[in-house]
Structure 1
Amino acid sequence: MRSFDVPTLPVDLTAAIERAGYYPALVGDVVAAALAGEQVRSHLVHLETTFDHDVIRRHVTVLVLTPSRLVIAHADDHADEAAGASVTDGVGGAGASTDAELDSAAAGGQEVATATTESIPLSAVRGVMLTHVVSDPQNYVPGSLGRELTLTLGWGAVSRVDLLPATCGDPGCDADHGYDGTISSDDIALRVSATADGDVALQQAIGFAHALSASLGQ
């Protein structure tokens, strides 16, 4: 198999990817290839687990801030249905499939990982939004910022439109005034919970959001 010269990632970013434990060699290589040796100012690695019927699947998202770009890498896996079909097609004929291959096909096909990277110029990032979820707010401890947050980043690739019926302010008016609405960027949203992900992960998410916000408009 052909190999490529991939730049080395900073030690702390490599360690974070390895702690996530989701194909760390693959994720590290695609992130390094996207960075192309550019300096890393801040990073955030987020692992998410989802349930697909009776299958547990994991996804990892890596956000990296450089002096000029926001680099986003996302990796997940799925069953290769085409590979499963080709295995079953060979049953009983020349080059018949092995029992192990048939078992894999019956389970939904060979596992395939997909890793995608995107580079966004910092000048194109339109917003960094942090939504803090605070339980028992009447007893909120100053400086704690809650135990859960959602980090939402927007750069215009995906927009959300919220529409509400427009009014003129007259409670007795029943005329049609059309709609009022807002358009907001909602390209990526990561939910981080101290309970599920740990206090360190929560602090890292806040730190990355602060670093990215400070870099906008420079």
Structure 2
Amino acid sequence: MSSRTYSTTPGAELQHDLVRAGFYPQMVQDVLAEAMMGQPVLDHYVHLETHFDHTEVHRHITVMVMSEKVLFIVHVDDQQLDDHGKDVMAQVSVEMISLARIASVATSYVYHQPQHYSAADPVKELTFGMSWNGTKRIDLAPAACGDPQCDADHGLNGTSQPEDLVIRVSAEADGQQAVDKAREFAVRLRLATIA
């Protein structure tokens, strides 16, 4: 692991947040250090999610790290390979996106009791997304005509939408500090993409 990657104060804060999240922190640090090739961490956001599916617990983590010109996104999922959870596999993906390629940084805010809104009110939920045209979601459906008696094949109609990364953070589920951190990171990322 390159010591330069984590030698800045933001790098030390990233290490702290990874350890605090507790989801394979050393593995994530090592994968990130390899991907960043010695570039120092300038900013980051760590998002840990837990999902419950009847008797199983599924966790995954998304880590976004900004260097001077690049955003690194690491995503880790784990999966139990046996019924007792002793044989576990982790799948790690890393994407490197030039900050100049990020076309859109979008945020959606949820405030409770907006009729009593004041500037000091916290955002209760934040959906934070960005697009760099890396992935597209295509929704297709059979095309139809206006004739109810027609049984001809009219092909398909569909839409194509960019869907690169969307994260939802809720004060109720993740804590107010997580919402505030996501909001602050989105603002700094937006500034970095227009710089």
TM-score, with structure 1 as normaliser: 0.71
% identical aligned pairs: 37
Q: Distance in 2 between matches of 1:209 and 1:160?
A: 23
Are 2:191 and 1:202 aligned?
Answer: no
The one-letter amino acid of 2:25's match is: P
> How far off its partner does 1:27 sit?
1.3
> How far off its partner does 1:160 sit?
4.8
CA contact (8 A) 2:123 2:179 kept: no
> How far off its partner does 1:182 sit?
8.0
Q: Distance in 2 between matches of 1:154 and 1:144?
A: 29
The one-letter amino acid of 1:7's match is: S
Higher Cα Rg, which structure: 1
Q: Distance in 2 between matches of 1:159 and 1:136?
A: 35
Aligned to 1:7: 2
Aligned to 2:106: 129
Query: How many aligned residue pairs are there?
Result: 172
CA contact (8 A) 1:153 1:185 kept: no
Change (3 A) 1:160 1:116: closer
Q: Secondary structure at the match of 1:135?
A: coil
Is there any run of 5+ residues in structure 2 with no aligned partner, and where? 141-157
Q: Distance in 1 between matches of 2:63 and 2:161?
A: 23
> How far off its partner does 1:110 sit?
1.9
Is there any run of 5+ residues in structure 1 with no aligned partner, and where? 1-5, 81-104, 164-180
1:69-109 per-position Cα deviation (integer Å, ceiling 9, x unaligned): 110001111133xxxxxxxxxxxxxxxxxxxxxxxx45488
Aligned to 1:74: 75
Change (3 A) 1:106 1:13: closer
| Equivalent residue in structure 2 for 1:158, among 135, 153, 156 | 135
Q: Distance in 1 between matches of 2:127 and 2:65?
A: 17
Aligned CA-pair RMSD: 2.3
> How far off its partner does 1:158 sit?
2.2
The one-letter amino acid of 2:28's match is: V
Aligned to 2:117: 140
Q: Distance in 2 between matches of 1:106 and 1:194?
A: 33
CA contact (8 A) 1:131 1:151 kept: yes
> How far off its partner does 1:184 sit?
4.6
Aligned to 1:22: 23
Runs of 4+ in 1 over 4 A off after TM superposition: 105-109, 160-163, 181-184
